[in-house]
């Protein structure tokens, strides 16, 4: 036998002994086994997320007791207990499927967590919640009908206006021309926007700022737990609201004003307060505390009706309150981590919640169902706001970006690399011409809603910008900062600047060419 033949024979002997190839096979089998276990665990968790569970902690305890497992573990809260039940049900489901494959016998009767079940678990709502949903439904249908009709008319008029058609009636021409002129006027004025006033707001960092519906006053809140009222005309303090024992994280004015302003505030003391403020002398007439959250409340927002209030919290839930009766109507779970923001769609039929789980959820207030989940941000979502068009909303995240989402397509349609630090606040203006954002990169920015082009950057702050807000006419913008100051932005001597602006080249022409045909 030649040398080559002896070498081949020796290799075959080694393979038969399993000294080399056997080791490789065992290593490969071990790796494949690890991958198989990881995939099984991933599949088990995926199936567990689809299991319907009762939201009431009492019912969760009953289900655990029924399965003869500990009702509660050391350091376990209601959410952890619910997730433990979810995992137990997933294991039961997996075991039942294996037994079914072996015996070819279908288990008798549906079980909790079985995807073949015909019964869905619901927590029964109160009569007040049923009445509120009916009222929201009727209001949203009316608003949606008017919004869609106006939008169709505006789009038709703009199309005819751009094509210079002769068959346009005077009313459509006036509508298209008016909308174009208002947008041009705002973009021109934005080029000259600067700081009109800068005020020291509190002894500790400011966290929120909001204009009242009448634009006569604005309110600021801070880590000191104090809310201060300011006169917009001279930027002087006109009132102080004290009541929270911890820092205040968010404030919101009711959209409707009668003889008094109604202001809501959310705090780290787990409470929400409603303040009634006299419109004439800005004195406090009444205050009410809403208790229910078990962790710090991060956001408060009024429903467009003005009768309901939504709050988001670190207890992983958002809640709906009746402002008139001061009663809690709804406790909504669904997020796996703390919530930072909840916002209402312009018609009032939908709510959008977002938080530290890097996702946003869309809720139908008329039925209580979760319609869709929106995933895409790489870090927690800190802020969310809905567009006046009714089908877009924006989210700002710690990943420094703003994402524009389409509710109809259920996906992100545009990503704005907006800031060089986390985005602390986003807000659509009521006229739909621009999106306002603030960031920890010490700036506020205005973005055109046609093409998402930058209109103006407001960069006079010396520290992190915590929040911003604009008046409904777009004349003023207010922003508050971590350095305990707030600033009022606007255009000084607008008539003179307008004449100069007509000769200056603007971004307008470039923006007018942009349309809503946006891509990733």
- Nearest Cα residue to 204 out of 224, 221, 188, 178: 224
The answer to whether residues 392 and 409 touch, using CB atoms and an 8 Å cutoff, is: no
Q: Superfamily assignment of 158-512 in CATH? A: YVTN repeat-like/Quinoprotein amine dehydrogenase (2.130.10.10)
Q: What is the mean pLDDT of residues 110-136?
A: 69
Q: pLDDT digit string (tens) for 213-265?
A: 988 999 999 999 999 999 999 999 999 999 999 999 999 999 988 888 999 99
Evaluate if residue 299 carries a pLDDT over 90: yes
59 contact partners, CB below 8 Å, separation of at least 6: none
Distance (Å, whole) CA 100 – CA 378: 40
Instruction: Give the rounded percent of residues in the chain with a pLDDT score beyond 70.
Output: 78
Looking at residue 491, what is its pLDDT?
A: 87
Q: pLDDT digit string (tens) for 323-372?
A: 999 999 999 988 989 999 999 999 999 999 999 999 999 999 998 889 99
Phi, psi of 60, deg, nearest 5: -60, -40
Burial 76-113 (b: 16+ CB within 10 A, else e): eebbebbbbbbebbbebbeebeeeeeeeeeeeeeeebb
Q: pLDDT digit string (tens) for 31-66?
A: 777 777 777 776 666 666 667 677 778 888 888 888
- Nearest Cα residue to 452 out of 494, 420, 417, 424: 417
Evaluate if residue 111 carries a pLDDT over 50: no
Exposed/middle/buried for residue 355 (C-beta within 10 Å: 0-12, 13-18, 19+): buried
Evaluate if residue 116 carries a pLDDT over 50: no
Q: Two tokens at 43?
A: 């599949």
E strand or H helix that includes residue 151:
helix 127-162
Distance (Å, whole) CA 352 – CA 340: 11
Q: pLDDT digit string (tens) for 1-14?
A: 444 444 444 444 44
CATH 2.130.10.10 domain position(s) in the chain: 158-512
Taking the model in full, what pTM does it have?
Answer: 0.72
Q: What is the mean pLDDT of residues 496-504?
A: 46
Distance (Å, whole) CA 146 – CA 140: 10
Q: What is the mean pLDDT of residues 96-103?
A: 59
Looking at residue 164, what is its pLDDT?
A: 64
Q: pLDDT digit string (tens) for 148-177?
A: 988 888 777 777 766 666 656 666 666 666
Looking at residue 288, what is its pLDDT?
A: 93
Q: pLDDT digit string (tens) for 169-192?
A: 666 666 666 777 777 888 888 888
The answer to whether residues 360 and 342 touch, using CB atoms and an 8 Å cutoff, is: no
Evaluate if residue 107 carries a pLDDT over 70: no
Instruction: Give the rounded percent of residues in the chain with a pLDDT score beyond 90.
Output: 53
Looking at residue 294, what is its pLDDT?
A: 92
């Amino acid at each position: 036998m030649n040398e080559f033949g002896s070498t081949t024979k020796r290799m075959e002997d080694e393979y038969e002994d399993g000294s080399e190839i056997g080791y490789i096979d065992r290593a490969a089998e071990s790796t494949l086994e690890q991958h198989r276990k990881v995939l099984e665990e991933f599949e088990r968790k995926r199936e567990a997320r689809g299991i319907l569970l009762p939201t009431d902690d009492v019912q969760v305890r009953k289900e655990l007791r029924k399965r003869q497992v500990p009702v509660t573990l050391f350091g376990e809260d209601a959410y952890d207990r619910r997730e433990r039940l979810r995992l137990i049900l997933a294991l039961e489901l997996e075991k039942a499927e294996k037994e079914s494959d072996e015996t070819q016998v279908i288990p008798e009767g549906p079980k909790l967590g079985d995807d073949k079940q015909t019964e869905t678990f619901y927590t029964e709502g109160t009569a007040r919640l049923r009445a509120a949903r009916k009222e929201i439904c009727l209001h949203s249908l009316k608003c949606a009908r008017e919004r869609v009709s106006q939008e169709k008319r505006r789009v038709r008029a703009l199309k005819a206006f751009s094509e210079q058609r002769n068959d346009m009636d005077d009313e459509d021409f006036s509508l298209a021309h008016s909308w174009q002129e208002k947008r041009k006027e705002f973009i021109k004025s934005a080029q000259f926007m600067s700081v009109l006033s800068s005020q020291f707001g509190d002894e500790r960092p400011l966290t929120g700022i909001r204009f009242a519906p009448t634009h006569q006053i604005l309110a600021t809140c801070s880590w000191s737990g104090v809310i201060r009222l300011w006169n917009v005309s001279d930027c002087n303090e006109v009132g102080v609201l004290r009541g929270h024992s911890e820092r205040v994280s968010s404030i919101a004015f009711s959209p409707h004003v009668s003889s008094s302003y109604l202001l809501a505030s959310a705090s780290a003391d787990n409470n929400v307060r409603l303040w009634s403020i006299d419109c004439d002398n800005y004195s406090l007439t009444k205050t009410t505390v809403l208790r229910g959250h078990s962790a710090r409340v991060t956001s408060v927002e009024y429903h467009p009706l003005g009768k309901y209030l939504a709050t988001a919290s670190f207890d992983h839930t958002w809640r709906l309150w009746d402002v008139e009766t001061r009663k809690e109507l709804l406790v909504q779970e669904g997020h796996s981590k703390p919530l930072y923001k909840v916002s209402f769609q312009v018609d009032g039929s939908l709510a959008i919640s977002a938080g530290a789980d890097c996702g946003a959820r869309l809720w139908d207030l008329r039925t209580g169902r979760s319609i869709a989940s929106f995933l895409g941000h790489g870090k927690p979502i800190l802020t969310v706001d809905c567009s006046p068009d009714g089908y877009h909303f924006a989210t700002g995240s710690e990943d420094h970006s703003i994402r524009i989402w389409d509710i109809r397509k259920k996906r992100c349609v545009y990503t704005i690399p907006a800031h060089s630090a986390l985005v602390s606040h986003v807000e659509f203006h009521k006229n739909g011409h621009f999106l306002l954002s603030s960031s920890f990169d010490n700036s506020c920015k205005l973005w055109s809603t046609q093409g998402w082009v930058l209109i103006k950057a407001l960069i006079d702050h010396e520290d992190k910008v915590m929040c911003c807000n604009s008046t409904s006419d777009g004349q003023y913008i207010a922003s508050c900062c971590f350095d305990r100051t707030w600033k009022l932005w606007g255009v000084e001597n607008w008539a003179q600047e307008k004449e100069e602006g007509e000769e200056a080249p603007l971004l307008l022409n470039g923006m007018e060419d942009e349309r809503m045909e946006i891509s990733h």
